[in-house]
């Protein structure tokens, strides 16, 4: 029978192209069981990096997609009613702490600040998780690690981490890869040729230059792989780029036309 740990293992290697020494630094952080914060724009590879490291270290990974409706009970657990009365159901954070998994809270700033406070005892010397409703104090498994991610581009007074939370983590700052690296990523991820991948990366760069000038975010590496997949599937290149690269990121007619012209020029 599959154990809890095996259930959460990443069994196939997720492709990740290192951009620097982040792999070695993460290994050092895990060896010291430091909590880790991963910052960077949408679709730049933050989640893929965490998945890759969980695979490389051979550790279970429990991912939580944070949202504004998430409560502390969603993280730690709650009592449920069933035919036999009440029973306790562990939340993902509690499960990770019990079995020694890496718990990854994706886009943590989307969660309410009163919810994220529950992680504090797990991120210092205590490495404990109090289950107040159950009257239990969990000592985190020796292999447990907490990882959070967020996009600094969307920070605001209402959506940011408190300093009391930030200063509990070692941090990595991610950005979109250099063009030659991103070209190899898109080609490797989708199986398209390097020349076509380079053209898609050129369009991505044009959009990123508009960030702060009408665009909140540029075209992500993720969207570049979407366009590549469409083209590989037989969709005409310009149509694939408009569908995957331009229409998802803007409704502004002028910016859309600017990016459409860049696509036409690239694939003329």
Strand partners, 86: 81
> How many other C-beta atoms are found inside a 10 Å radius of the C-beta of residue 229?
17
pLDDT value for 155:
54
Q: What is the mean pLDDT of residues 145-160?
A: 77
Confidence of residue 157 (pLDDT cuts 50, 70, 90): very low
Q: What is the mean pLDDT of residues 16-23?
A: 95
Report how far residue 81's alpha carbon sits from residue 265's, in angstroms, rounded to the nearest whole number.
61
Examine the pLDDT at 249 and tell me if it is beyond 90.
yes
Burial 238-264 (b: 16+ CB within 10 A, else e): eebbbebbbeebbeeeebeebbbebbe
Range in 40-54, 97-111, 143-157, 195-209 with the lowest mean pLDDT:
143-157
Q: What is the mean pLDDT of residues 121-144?
A: 95
- 170: enclosing H helix or E strand: strand 170-173
Q: What is the mean pLDDT of residues 213-226?
A: 91
Task: Encode pLDDT of 47-105 as tens digits.
Answer: 999 999 999 999 999 999 999 999 999 999 999 998 888 999 999 999 999 999 999 99
* Three-state DSSP state, 144: coil
pLDDT value for 2:
45
pLDDT value for 31:
98
Range in 28-32, 136-140, 207-211 with the lowest mean pLDDT:
207-211
Confidence of residue 36 (pLDDT cuts 50, 70, 90): very high
Report how far residue 196's alpha carbon sits from residue 236's, in angstroms, rounded to the nearest whole number.
12
Confidence of residue 1 (pLDDT cuts 50, 70, 90): very low
Across all residues in the chain, what is the average pLDDT?
Answer: 93
Task: Encode pLDDT of 133-146 as tens digits.
Answer: 999 999 999 999 99
Strand partners, 88: 79
Confidence of residue 3 (pLDDT cuts 50, 70, 90): low
């Amino acid at each position: 029978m599959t154990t809890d740990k095996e259930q959460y293992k990443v069994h196939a290697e997720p492709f990740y192209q290192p951009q620097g020494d982040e792999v070695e630094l993460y290994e050092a952080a895990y060896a010291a069981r430091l909590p880790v914060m991963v910052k960077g724009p949408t679709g730049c590879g933050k989640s893929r990096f965490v998945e890759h490291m969980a695979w490389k270290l051979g550790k279970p990974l429990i991912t939580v997609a944070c949202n504004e409706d998430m409560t502390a009970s969603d993280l730690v657990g709650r009592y449920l009613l069933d035919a036999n009365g009440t029973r306790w159901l562990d939340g993902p954070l509690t499960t990770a702490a019990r079995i020694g998994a890496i718990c990854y809270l994706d886009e943590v700033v989307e969660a309410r600040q009163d919810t994220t406070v529950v992680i504090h005892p797990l991120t210092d010397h205590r490495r404990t998780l109090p289950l107040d409703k159950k009257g239990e104090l969990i000592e985190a498994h020796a292999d447990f690690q907490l990882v959070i991610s967020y996009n600094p581009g969307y920070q605001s007074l209402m959506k940011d981490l408190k300093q009391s939370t930030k200063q509990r983590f070692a941090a990595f700052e991610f950005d979109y890869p250099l063009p030659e690296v991103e070209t190899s990523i898109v080609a490797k991820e989708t199986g398209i040729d390097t020349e076509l991948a380079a053209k898609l990366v050129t369009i991505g760069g044009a959009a990123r230059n508009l960030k702060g000038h009408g665009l909140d975010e540029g075209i992500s590496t993720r969207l570049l792989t979407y366009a590549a997949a469409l083209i590989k599937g037989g969709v005409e290149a310009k149509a694939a780029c408009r569908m995957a690269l331009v229409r998802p990121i803007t409704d502004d007619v002028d910016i859309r036309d600017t990016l459409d012209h860049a696509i036409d020029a690239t694939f003329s």
